Amino acid sequence: MDPSRLEKDAPVLPDLRALGRAIRQSLTAQEVLDNVQRALTPLDAGGWLLLCSSRQTVLASTGHAPKGPLNLPDGGFAAAEVTQVLRTPWLLSLLPLGNCLLVAGSTPEAAPELAAVLEVMQPHLLVALQRMEQQKRPELRPEFMDTLFAHMQEGVAICDATGTLQTFNPALRHLHGGNSGAVSHAQWPEKFHLHTPDGSRMLTPEEVPLYRAWKGEVVDQALLLIRPPGLPDRYVQFQGGPVRSAQGELLGALVTGIDMTGTFQQEQQLHTQHRLIQHEHHARASSEHTLRYTSALLRISEALLEGNSPAEMGQAVLSESREILDALTANIYVTDPDHRELKLFSSLNVHASLEEKIRTFPLEGHNPVSEVARTGKPLIFSSKEALCEAYPDLLPLKEDIQGPVIVLLPLALREEVLGVLHFGFGPGRRLAEEEHSLMRNIAKQVAQALERTRLYQQQDRLIHQHQETLAMLQALMHNAPIGLAFLDDQLSFKMVNRPMARMLNSTIDDFLGARPTERFPLFGQLIEHQLKKVLDSGESLLNLEYSMPPGMGRPLQDWLVNYFPVRTPEGETLGIGATIQDITHQKASERILQESQLFREKIMQTAPVVIYLMDLQAQHIVYSNQHMAEVLGYTPQEVEHMSMRNMLSLVHHEDLAQTREVLSQMQDLQGGDVISLEARFRHKSGSWRWFFVKYTLFSRTEESLLVLGLALDITEQKQFQEALNESEQRFKDVSNSVPILIWMSDAQRNRTFFNRTWLEFTGSTTAESAGTGWTALVHPEDIERYLHIYHQNFEARTEFQIEYRLKRFDGQYRWILARGVPRFDLNGNFLGFIGGCIEMHDRKVAEEALKERETELQQVMNVQKRFVADAAHELRTPLTAIQGNLDILIRHPHIPEDEKKEIVQDVQREATRLGRLVNDMLQLARGDSGLAFKEEEVDLHRVLHSAFRDAERFSEDHHLELGKVENVTLYGDRDRLKQLLLILLENAVKYTPAGGTIRGTLVCSDSRAEVRISDNGIGIAEEDIPRVFERFYRVDKARQRSEDPGGTGLGLPIARWIVDQHGGKIWIESEVGKGTTVVVQLRAEPVT
């Protein structure tokens, strides 16, 4: 068939699934053949015959096929014989169908494709013919039906009216590998591994064909995938429906399944053949382009393989690429060995000015060449504008760029980018896929060439290194401290180094080509015998010792010789290698060592250490010295008869576990390893002795594992250590139980111990306070002073005492009294300091408070002294006046009555003043003694009204008035507040001339009540205002009215005392000649 026609007709090929479905539904052989004929008309089939070979008859035919009986040979199904009988010019394709034969005629071109389609249709044709054959047969007995059910090629599954699977035939079991039995429909997908055709998921129970049939649906061409474990996947097509009785009752359901796996595979193969033919057509159509591109690639490959210089290789590649691709410019960039920048390796048709600017690009730069090298992905730009828009830094180069269509390809090999290939094309150039493919191939070849160049360079370096290695090996061989030689398989010396020649008093030339018997007459035959043994067995002979007797002016010499086969990497034996080493001094040492064995034995027997040798393979003691009897009471003979079990019975039960652990570790001992152990062993008398034991490997062979043990009796040290530990524990217990902060430092001034009291007080851990960490807890104002004293006494090794502040666990600094004492060992060596700290914060605070109280008391005493002095002075004046007047009355009893009356009035006036003074002093005395005020709810406005009413009684010559008075309620002492107001009113009356005005106001603002008592009296000088509240202070009389007001100088101090007790403030505003205003402010918090 013409390929072009096949390509044209490919879209109208038959739908094989639809054809199979039509064949299976056919009722007669002729209908089967007609369906096939209609479906396969595009394949130029010339005619169809369905023959029955057993009856030599035509069951059905199309076209010009004969009718009636045929004269075919017995069993004749050969195409040539059928062609002869049918006398047709068509090429026949034969398809056996049991006892039938399907014959199809076609052109030679369509024959292969027709044969493939027939092979796919074979299962469907067999099913249709079997069904038609069964329809012709009479009803069979159940046994025949069971046999038919068991041998059907189609799988059959049956469920009952409850939807429970009852049975399936062997053909279906072969597909899914399950066992028959009662299985509910919910379990069918999982039990029989039923999946969707694409295998993406398992079917739901409702999607199973048998379930659908049970639900009354007629299932047709239901395709699914069965994936049984351990068996290949199978595509199965089901059809069936419900089974009902004559009365329409549902009895169950039945479905049949056909294995369509082969059909699918053949269908895929058929479509693959179509695709291959189409690909072949396209390949022929593009053969000229391919040949042209292939030739260019071959020329590029030849240029890269010629081995010219890298520049010539690059020019050749760019020239060929530019010609075949019709490119304007081309460049090759290569990364440097350090992968830091890209260098212009070769360029073609690039302006000199531009070439200079693009000669190098940093690998991390923002440009298209570096980006392709970094990412390994190609970049294509349709114009210079697009390039400059993506990379604005290239805008200055825009006019110099010749190829506006730019292609950048990575030169990548095994995920490593070796460089970048650049092509520049003319404006508007559109590149075909073949051209892209060609550029990728060119980039790949250039990358391979760069890799080959790099490998050649590496090869040169390796050759140079190899030559250096050979030189070093030769130098090593001739300067090695041992003799080396090589003999061939004929036992002739082929190589001898200089040390071996010197050892044997010969030259290298004396050995080359000679045999051992020629060089060593005395024992040459022995040497050759040993060499032949190495050649024959292929095994080495090591550590052979030879002694050469003295002679020829040479002393006795001992040699250590090794022979070993020399093989190629493939295992071929080339000869024998030999090493010789002068061990004369070693053998002499061994002889000396042997001579000293007795001496060592005496040392071992007399050493104050238990020495014994254990064989862990044989599990017994093989040797012990005499000291064993001295420390444990067992003689060496008794010990050497002990097994390891007997030896372990001597170990204290508390030390038995670690002893067993040490024994297990001995199995892995290597040369130089040492394991130590402290344990108690029972003396023969029954007492326990402490030993410090060290074990080391003595020797290891296949037959024995000898371990040497050295045991030192440390019983006395242990007893001393236990006593010391007990003492230390007692110290720790005592230090942790006392309420003192105890610390200890070493000789380097680092704190090493803190008791529990310290840790609990500071809230820190031992690790945090250790060393110099404790200094962080000292108050910043005390740390410098503390460290100065601490270091000064460390240098002097003297005790010290200091008070400082230490931070408590709650962050509060507490005063501490610390005392440190130096520590010395029994030999007088300085060990450090031990110190104790006592919290004295409360005492320190009390002391400071006491000092403050003393200062306050001193101030009070000074005030009292001044008060007493002032009081005495104030009391003396009225008492003197009274006493003087009384003296006059006594001395002059007959003075006139009016004078007596005047004297009595003076005495009365002074006595009244004296009473008032004493009363005020008592009032102040009570205040100084801390007299408590009553605290109650007080209406201050009422108290002010009451005070003004009282003042009106003793001041009839003054005009008293109240201004603004707000209602104010506060907590305080009602009587004291009234006394305060009366004192202020009395003072205003005293220092205001008759007819003057005294005014009072009360306002409240911001929870503070303010009382103002104002007058228009004589006023107070500015310099006197600060002192008017001092006791007994009175303004200069020269500034007063002519008549003495008679004040005591205690009114205002008492007033201030009352204000202070109420938490308020009092001050005076005054101007001489205009008047005075006294202001009192009191807290007026809301009364609840």
Sign of CA dihedral 667, 673, 679, 684: positive
Minimum mean pLDDT range among 653-662, 854-863, 1057-1066: 854-863
Q: For residues 525 and 25, which has the higher predicted lDDT (pLDDT)? A: 525
For residue range 467-479, list pLDDT tens digits in order. Answer: 777 777 777 777 7
CB of 208 closer than 8 Å to CB of 225: no
DSSP code, position 139 = P
* 3-state secondary structure (DSSP) of residue 286: coil
For residue range 222-232, list pLDDT tens digits in order. Answer: 888 888 888 88
User: What gap in Å lies between CA 712 and CA 706, rounded to an integer?
Assistant: 20
pLDDT of residue 869: 62
User: What gap in Å lies between CA 435 and CA 443, rounded to an integer?
Assistant: 12
The distance of Cα 189 from the centroid of its chain, to the nearest Å, equals 45
For residue range 793-805, list pLDDT tens digits in order. Answer: 999 999 999 999 9
Q: For residues 551 and 843, which has the higher predicted lDDT (pLDDT)? A: 843
State which of 80-84, 639-643, 739-743, 1016-1020 shows the largest mean pLDDT: 1016-1020
User: What gap in Å lies between CA 347 and CA 169, rounded to an integer?
Assistant: 77
Q: Which residues contact 684 (CB under 8 A, 6 or more apart)?
A: 632, 633, 634
Residue 1015 has pLDDT above 80, yes or no: yes
Q: What is the Cα gyration radius of the chain?
A: 64
Confidence of residue 287 (pLDDT cuts 50, 70, 90): low
CB of 332 closer than 8 Å to CB of 421: yes
Q: For residues 869 and 716, which has the higher predicted lDDT (pLDDT)? A: 716
Q: Which residues contact 1007 (CB under 8 A, 6 or more apart)?
A: 1083, 1084, 1085, 1086
Of 960, 1038, 949, nearest in space to 994 by CA: 960
Q: For residues 1041 and 619, which has the higher predicted lDDT (pLDDT)? A: 619
Minimum mean pLDDT range among 98-112, 165-179, 255-269, 518-532: 98-112
Confidence of residue 781 (pLDDT cuts 50, 70, 90): very high
Q: What is the mean pLDDT of the segment spanning 945-964?
A: 86
State which of 33-47, 124-138, 796-810 shows the largest mean pLDDT: 796-810
Helical axes 287-305 vs 261-285, angle rounded to 10°: 80
Of 335, 490, 482, 349, nearest in space to 423 by CA: 349
pLDDT of residue 41: 66
Confidence of residue 82 (pLDDT cuts 50, 70, 90): low
Of 691, 695, 672, 669, nearest in space to 680 by CA: 691
Residue 63 has pLDDT above 90, yes or no: no
Tell me how far CA of residue 389 lies from CA of 360, 370, 393, 394, in angstroms: 21, 16, 9, 9
Query: Structural domains in the chain?
Result: 3-136 (3.30.450), 154-270 (3.30.450.20), 286-459 (3.30.450.40), 480-589 (3.30.450.20), 602-713 (3.30.450.20), 723-834 (3.30.450.20), 840-931 (1.10.287.130), 932-1083 (3.30.565.10)
Minimum mean pLDDT range among 85-89, 719-723, 865-869: 85-89
Q: Is 1055 exposed, middle or buried (0-12, 13-18, 19+ CB in 10 A)?
A: buried
Residue 16 has pLDDT above 70, yes or no: no
User: What gap in Å lies between CA 121 and CA 567, rounded to an integer?
Assistant: 66
Q: What is the mean pLDDT of the segment spanning 882-907?
A: 81
User: What gap in Å lies between CA 768 and CA 807, rounded to an integer?
Assistant: 14
Q: Which two tokens stand for residue 877?
A: 């004046």
Q: Which two tokens stand for residue 549?
A: 């007797």
DSSP code, position 1025 = G
Q: What is the mean pLDDT of the segment spanning 377-386?
A: 89
Sign of CA dihedral 725, 731, 737, 742: negative
| 901-903-905-909 Cα dihedral, nearest 10 degrees | 180
| Ramachandran region, residue 755 (left: φ > 0; alpha: ψ -120 to 50; beta: rest) | beta
pLDDT of residue 72: 56
pLDDT of residue 685: 87
pLDDT of residue 788: 92
CB of 264 closer than 8 Å to CB of 199: no
Q: Are strands 959-965 and 997-1005 parallel, antiparallel or unpaired?
A: parallel
Confidence of residue 595 (pLDDT cuts 50, 70, 90): low
| Ramachandran region, residue 299 (left: φ > 0; alpha: ψ -120 to 50; beta: rest) | alpha
Q: For residues 685 and 73, which has the higher predicted lDDT (pLDDT)? A: 685
- pTM higher than 0.85, yes or no? no
Q: In what order do the strands lie in the sheet with 100-106?
A: 57-62, 45-52, 100-106, 91-97
Confidence of residue 1009 (pLDDT cuts 50, 70, 90): very high
Q: In what order do the strands lie in the sheet with 830-839?
A: 751-754, 741-745, 830-839, 813-824, 800-807
Q: How many CB atoms lie within 10 A of CB 296?
A: 18
Helical axes 310-325 vs 287-305, angle rounded to 10°: 170
User: What gap in Å lies between CA 35 and CA 45, rounded to an integer?
Assistant: 13
User: What gap in Å lies between CA 647 and CA 691, rounded to an integer?
Assistant: 14
Kindly provide the residue ranges of all beta strands, DSSP E only, lying in 40-154, ordered along the sequence. 45-52, 57-62, 91-97, 100-106
Confidence of residue 1001 (pLDDT cuts 50, 70, 90): very high
Q: For residues 1065 and 286, which has the higher predicted lDDT (pLDDT)? A: 1065
User: What gap in Å lies between CA 159 and CA 182, rounded to an integer?
Assistant: 9
pLDDT of residue 538: 87
With a pLDDT cut of 90, the percent of the chain lying above it is 13
Residue 2 has pLDDT above 50, yes or no: no
Mean pLDDT over each residue of the chain, to the nearest integer:
79
Q: For residues 934 and 331, which has the higher predicted lDDT (pLDDT)? A: 331
Residue 772 has pLDDT above 60, yes or no: yes
DSSP code, position 641 = T
CB of 774 closer than 8 Å to CB of 751: yes
Confidence of residue 288 (pLDDT cuts 50, 70, 90): low
User: What gap in Å lies between CA 989 and CA 957, rounded to an integer?
Assistant: 9
For residue range 150-193, list pLDDT tens digits in order. Answer: 677 788 888 888 888 887 888 888 777 777 667 888 888 888 88
For residue range 711-763, list pLDDT tens digits in order. Answer: 888 887 777 777 666 766 766 766 676 778 889 999 999 998 898 888 889 99
Helical axes 261-285 vs 111-136, angle rounded to 10°: 160
Q: Are strands 1065-1071 and 483-488 parallel, antiparallel or unpaired?
A: unpaired
Q: Which residues contact 464 (CB under 8 A, 6 or more apart)?
A: none
Minimum mean pLDDT range among 87-91, 109-113, 397-401, 692-696: 87-91
Residue 1 has pLDDT above 50, yes or no: no
CB of 937 closer than 8 Å to CB of 1087: yes
Q: What is the mean pLDDT of the segment spanning 404-422?
A: 87
With a pLDDT cut of 70, the percent of the chain lying above it is 78
Q: For residues 64 and 18, which has the higher predicted lDDT (pLDDT)? A: 18
Confidence of residue 307 (pLDDT cuts 50, 70, 90): low
Q: How many CB atoms lie within 10 A of CB 126?
A: 18
Q: For residues 384 and 90, which has the higher predicted lDDT (pLDDT)? A: 384
pLDDT of residue 55: 46
Of 410, 406, 405, nearest in space to 377 by CA: 410
| 308-312-315-320 Cα dihedral, nearest 10 degrees | -30
For residue range 533-571, list pLDDT tens digits in order. Answer: 988 888 998 888 877 777 645 677 788 899 989 888 888
Helical axes 16-25 vs 261-285, angle rounded to 10°: 140
Confidence of residue 10 (pLDDT cuts 50, 70, 90): very low
Q: What is the mean pLDDT of the segment spanning 260-282?
A: 72
User: What gap in Å lies between CA 1048 and CA 920, rounded to an integer?
Assistant: 8
For residue range 101-114, list pLDDT tens digits in order. Answer: 777 777 777 777 77
User: What gap in Å lies between CA 422 and CA 442, rounded to an integer?
Assistant: 11
Give me the phi and psi of 151, to 5 degrees please. Answer: -105, 10
Q: What is the mean pLDDT of the segment spanning 1063-1086?
A: 90
pLDDT of residue 11: 36
User: Which helix (H) or strand (E) covers residue 1061, if one does?
Assistant: helix 1051-1061
Q: How many CB atoms lie within 10 A of CB 398?
A: 12
